[in-house]
Amino acid sequence: MTGILYIVATPIGNLGDITARAIDTLKAVDVIACEDTRTSGKLLNFFNISTPTIAYHEHNADTQTARLIERLQSGQSIALISDAGTPLISDPGFRLVKACHKVGVQVVPIVGACAVIGALSVAGLPSDKFSFVGFLPAKQHGRVESLKAYQNHSETLIFYEAPHRIVECLTDMVAVFGGEREATLCREISKTFETIKKLPLADLLEFVKNDDNQQRGEIVLVVAGNTAQTTATDYDDWLLAIAKELPPKKASGIVAEVLGLKKSEVYDRLLTLTK
């Protein structure tokens, strides 16, 4: 019998957000794989969890993955936790989960706190469709190019950002998305100095620039999608040019993806233009 890998969500701030199932799981497994054993040690001590821990992070994942798989295959069960929140969401763990699926080891989610979902739930922006972008590149050129790739997406966009880059990030968002685009700053979710602030991007930038406290802590930015209607003449020439090189459906799919439009609408437009 092989063991089970449990992906255990831990609190992102308020320790009361941990679930009873998470505590029971962390006490029952043979070992807990932690992003940082010192950080996780504080949480485990608080809940009187004495299970042995082992470090598992991006710098040792190549070697530790194989070792953890061996332990799972020998019958031991393992809980994977990150410093806070749900593992694998901008945190280590993907290689281990992938390896488990490859060798037939069962993976079980122990659901709980997640900054992405927490921020989306309070942002006051459409939540039926969204893209989680995660952290943008640290350097401005890469950050701007990444933002341009999402410029015409119609779904709500969710970003993580480091506090020392939040002003620069918002500045670039104003430049690429426009100052009127609605956005919500979710800072220090579930912690003492939690901030939830919804404003147009230009006003949000000024709010953050004028308050040093908003440039500290864990930050999630939830940004409205581009809901402006794209007219037919905005992409007709481009669509026709691509359709000369590719089959109609593939050409329509590329244009739709880049502009954040429905594939069926672009395809119908192409059929109209080529009649």
Read off the pLDDT of residues 39-91 as tens digits, 9 standing for 90 and up.
Answer: 999 999 999 999 999 999 989 998 999 999 999 999 999 999 999 999 999 88
Do 183 and 223 touch, CB atoms closer than 8 A? Answer: yes
Tell me the two tokens of residue 48: 């009187």
Spans of all domains in the chain = 4-113, 116-223, 232-273
pLDDT of res. 231: 53
Do 36 and 83 touch, CB atoms closer than 8 A? Answer: yes
Place of tokens 């890998």: 5
CB atoms within 10 A of CB 41: 14
Between CA 93 and CA 100 the distance in angstroms is 11
Place of tokens 């029971």: 24
Tell me the two tokens of residue 4: 């089970």
Mean residue pLDDT of the chain comes to 94
For the chain, percent helix, then strand, then coil, each to nearest 5?
45, 20, 35
CB atoms within 10 A of CB 227: 11
Distance from chain centroid for Cα 210: 27
Angle at 180 between CA 176 and CA 181, to 5 degrees: 65
CATH topology of domain 116-223: 3.30.950
Tell me the two tokens of residue 151: 């410029």
CATH of 4-113, one of 3.40.190.10, 3.40.50.720, 3.40.1010.10, 3.40.50.300: 3.40.1010.10
pLDDT of res. 233: 52
Do 188 and 197 touch, CB atoms closer than 8 A? Answer: no
Helix locations, the chain, DSSP H: 20-28, 37-46, 61-73, 94-103, 115-122, 140-149, 166-177, 201-209, 232-243, 248-259, 263-273
Stretches in the chain below the pLDDT threshold 50: none
pLDDT of res. 259: 78
pLDDT of res. 230: 53
User: In residues, how long is the chain?
Assistant: 275
pLDDT of res. 229: 59
Distances (CA, A) of 223 to 150, 158, 184, 259: 11, 6, 6, 17
CB atoms within 10 A of CB 63: 9
